[in-house]
Amino acid sequence: MNYIIHLNAFLDKAAKEKWMVSYHYSLYMALFNTWNKLGFRKTFHIRRDEIMSAAKIKAKSTYYRCIKELHAHQYLVYYPSAQRQCPATISMIPLDGLTELLNRPQNTKMENAMVSLEGHLLQTNIKTISNDVSNGLPNLEEVLKFFSTHNYPREEALKFWYHHEATSWLTGNTPVQHWQPLAHKWMLNVSKSNNNNEDYDQSF
């Protein structure tokens, strides 16, 4: 992800949007700044109060209206929190090379738009972030290191990462928040499957 290219693309595109006002600009920049600090990861969690403060937005109604409009116009993907005490999740959409995506009709419902956008998020260069600091989505290097640390096979690390990349790191319709326990569960299932196969072979 190139910081300058993306920012310039946003400013150029936003300048042509008749519906966009200063609150949309300030909210997007607050989210973009958070995204940048987190290494441009694929998805990240946000706290409404923190983002409102950074965007200088005082009214909750203004905040929710603006974030939903940014979602509807395909600047980002907004996953509302299922519970009040849990943070919402954001996927920022890279603005370069998205001609097909940006030309889509805008009259779809929020929930349908969420599903349609998931498969079109472009892969970004995610910086390596220590798992001691964050439980964010990993890159391949982090998964390989994690599996190696726990003496898990490299082949299973590759299977695990490519499987979850293909499913956009969703379990059902819920974004993955803690991938390390999911990796342990993956290996438990592999071990269970291998044991079942051994029992089957010995029965003959």
Instruction: Let me know: does 161 contact 168? Beta carbons within 8 Å.
Output: no
Residue 44 pairs with which residues in a beta bridge? 90
Structure tokens at 117: 């956008």
Instruction: Give the residue from 139, 157, 174 showing the smallest Cα distance to 42.
Output: 139
Structural domains of the chain, ranges and CATH numbers in brackets: 3-118 (1.10.10), 140-202 (no CATH)
What is the pTM for the complete model shown?
Answer: 0.49
User: How many residues are there in the chain?
Assistant: 204
- Per-position pLDDT tens, the chain of length 204: 678 888 888 999 999 999 999 999 999 999 999 998 888 888 999 999 999 999 999 999 999 999 999 999 989 999 988 777 788 999 998 886 543 344 444 444 444 444 444 444 434 333 333 333 344 688 888 889 999 988 999 989 888 888 888 788 887 778 887 888 888 889 988 887 766 655 555 544
- Give the span between the Cα atoms of 87 and 89, in whole angstroms: 7
Strands 44-46 and 88-92: antiparallel
Report which of 24, 17, 109 is spatially closest to residue 63, judged by C-alpha positions.
24
